[in-house]
Amino acid sequence: MPTNVPPQYYEAETRFRKAKTTEEKIAILEEMMILMPKHKGTDKLRVTLNQKLKKLKEGEDEKKGGKRQTVSVPREGAAQVTLIGAPNVGKSQLITSMTKATPEVAAYPFTTRMPVPGMVVFEDVQIQLIELPAITESSMEVWVPEIIRGSDLLLIMLDLASSDLLDCIDPIIRQLEKHHIFLVKEIPPEEEQKVSVGYMRTMLLGNKVDHPDASANLELFQEWLKNRFYFFGCVSAQDPSTLTLFAKNLFDALKIIRVYTKAPGRKFDKIDPVILPAGATMVDAAKTLHKEIAEKFKFARVWGDGVHDGQQVAKDHILKDGWVLEFHI
């Protein structure tokens, strides 16, 4: 047995020995791979586990009569947001209203079987919004967790016309937990994170606010839902007047800012923003231009909200959305 594997690894190993189904064994092996630190002492074990995992997966694929399906969506734009929910809640309708994508919108469940990406435009920023196939207690496409894990924010759409909103959301939480994805209001600080768990920042989006029972249905679960997640808002995906703030809210929810850089003495156009996480500093912005600029710049000038035109600021000054930056080497 290699040295330096955490106690959670041994605990997973015990569960693996007791596991009955191949699916369970695959999930635990994947967990063990994540838990195993990467160093020389674990190389051999890593190879053995990988072989075991491959064999189990091949067995599963044969049982299902084909190859394991992998599906991915290449990232585009400033951020990637995944949109999930129970069947028929109106995910495709929202994608149709907010982007140029044209998925089928229909009054029967599981209309969408593959990811549908579209670009939501907020001023000069494009945000990728991806509809994923509906998730229920008994069904979730195998590739869905991986796409969610890679996204920056998860939106769960609720059907406000339904009198049991928890019925829509509970199965989703449970399905994703089986794949070690924990849906959270905010990502916990690193020291409080559990090993082998992926945290996903999640917000709720109520749809079909035009339905006569919408506010009464929401009222019933408001407290529970509010304590568990932040509410992104309530809309009617069919009614553009309820969607006017959607793109801005999405930008704000992502906790990102855009800045523009210009060379000293040059005029500049507000195009092609640099996207950075909120809280980023002048040095972070300089890094996006060049490592050397970040290391060497003597001072920087900024234009924008809260500063005088061309004001000189410190290297660790926190940026604001919309600022224009000029680095002096």
Ligand X SMILES: Nc1nc2c(ncn2[C@@H]2O[C@H](COP(=O)(O)OP(=O)(O)OP(=O)(O)O)[C@@H](O)[C@H]2O)c(=O)[nH]1
The residue ranges that bind Mg ion (CB under 5 A) are: 91-92, 111-112
Residue from the set 236, 253, 257, 323 that interacts with ligand X by CB under 6 A: 236
Alpha-carbon gap, residue 238 to 88, rounded angstroms:
13
- The nearest distance, CB 93 to ligand X, in angstroms, is 4
First to last CA, the chain: 54
C-alpha triplet 82, 84, 86: angle, nearest 5°:
180
How far does Cα 223 stand from its chain's mean position? 24
Per-residue binder mask for ligand X (CB under 6 A), 206-235, x = binder: -xx-xx------------------------
- The nearest distance, CB 13 to ligand X, in angstroms, is 38
Give the residue closest to ligand X by C-beta.
Answer: 90
Residue from the set 5, 134, 203, 276 that interacts with ligand X by CB under 6 A: 134
Alpha-carbon gap, residue 98 to 247, rounded angstroms:
8
* 3-class DSSP state of 310: coil
* Pair 153, 189: CB distance under 8 Å: no
- The nearest distance, CB 83 to Mg ion, in angstroms, is 9
Per-residue binder mask for ligand X (CB under 6 A), 72-111, x = binder: -------------x-xxxxxxx-----------xxx-xxx
Residue 155, both tokens: 């939106």
Among residues 90 and 273, whose Cβ is nearest to Mg ion? 90
Interaction between residue 322 and ligand X (CB under 6 A): no
Choose the contact partner of 130 out of ligand X, Mg ion, none; CB within 5 to 8 A by kind. Answer: none
Q: Which stretches of the chain are DSSP H helices? A: 7-18, 22-35, 43-64, 91-98, 144-149, 165-178, 214-228, 246-253, 282-289, 291-296
Site of interaction with ligand X (CB under 6 A) = 85, 87-93, 105-107, 109-112, 134, 207-208, 210-211, 236-238
